[in-house]
Chains A and B, each alone.
Chain A
């Protein structure tokens, strides 16, 4: 089946720093989504992207749907301690199902 490669696997940064993570696929996706998972909870949707080239912001978060439709990135500016968690990218394949990346674990040092 399709796979998403998400990188980096983990990040340990200082509070106030910017963060960047990305996902790449061998196949084209119709939709890209970015989720955050807090410890002990289910993933929560952060940003949804529906068109190639689309750039969308949600507060300090910015995500882009790659022109080739095979990649997406997420940036977090001026990180704060509550940004800690696991970030997942997800792509919607032609059948409608979501395929998830392996996740990026973010730790923020105050």
Chain B
């Protein structure tokens, strides 16, 4: 089925460890995004990529890095995980920053940092 695929679905890290969250979309979308979801906070934008080859900071970028590997893939890296980064991470994509059809979201990665 067409959509946004995130891996892994669950992850437990120790403080200070690093990891990369993977995201791939097969809808030929130009723009991709990483959000984190915390209780009572809604979805907050971490980084986004308006098009292949570009990335920009969102609302809460500290502690994260991203790579737009190609048009399909957009990864999120935690270099030194902290307990404050315990959250559910969602990747999303859209045709462009113009939102004719909204964003399509993946099913999320549930990350716990102990």
| B81 part of interface (Cβ distance < 8 Å) | no
> B: which residues have CB within 8 A of A?
4, 33, 35, 40-45, 48, 50, 58-59, 90, 92, 96-99, 101-108
Can you name the residue of chain A whose Cβ is closest to the Cβ of B41?
A102
Query: Measured between alpha carbons, how far is A98 from B32 in the docked complex, in Å?
Result: 12
Minimal beta-carbon separation of B25 from chain A (angstroms): 12
Tell whether A42 pairs with B105 under 8 Å between CB atoms, given A92-B99, A96-B98, A98-B99: yes
Query: Measured between alpha carbons, how far is A104 from B11 in the docked complex, in Å?
Result: 27
Can you name the residue of chain A whose Cβ is closest to the Cβ of B45?
A97
20 contacts between A and B (CB under 8 A): A1-B59, A4-B42, A40-B108, A41-B107, A41-B108, A42-B4, A42-B108, A45-B101, A45-B104, A48-B102, A88-B42, A88-B43, A92-B99, A96-B50, A97-B45, A97-B48, A98-B33, A98-B103, A102-B41, A103-B40
Query: Measured between alpha carbons, how far is A33 from B100 in the docked complex, in Å?
Result: 10
A-B contact count (CB 8 A): 61
- Secondary structure call for the B interface: loop
Minimal beta-carbon separation of B7 from chain A (angstroms): 14
Query: Measured between alpha carbons, how far is A82 from B102 in the docked complex, in Å?
Result: 23
> A: which residues have CB within 8 A of B?
1, 4, 6, 9, 31, 33, 35, 40-45, 48, 88, 90, 92, 95-103
The 4 closest A-B pairs by CB, nearest first: A96-B97, A42-B105, A100-B43, A45-B102
- Are B106 and A42 neighbours in the complex by a CB distance under 8 Å? yes
Can you name the residue of chain B whose Cβ is closest to the Cβ of A96?
B97
Which A residues lie within 8 Å of B96 (CB)?
A: 96
Query: Measured between alpha carbons, how far is A69 from B105 in the docked complex, in Å?
Result: 25
Task: Supply 10 further A-B pairs (C-beta < 8 A) apart from A35-B105, A96-B99.
Answer: A1-B59, A6-B42, A33-B99, A42-B105, A43-B105, A45-B102, A88-B42, A98-B45, A98-B99, A100-B43
Query: Measured between alpha carbons, how far is A35 from B102 in the docked complex, in Å?
Result: 10
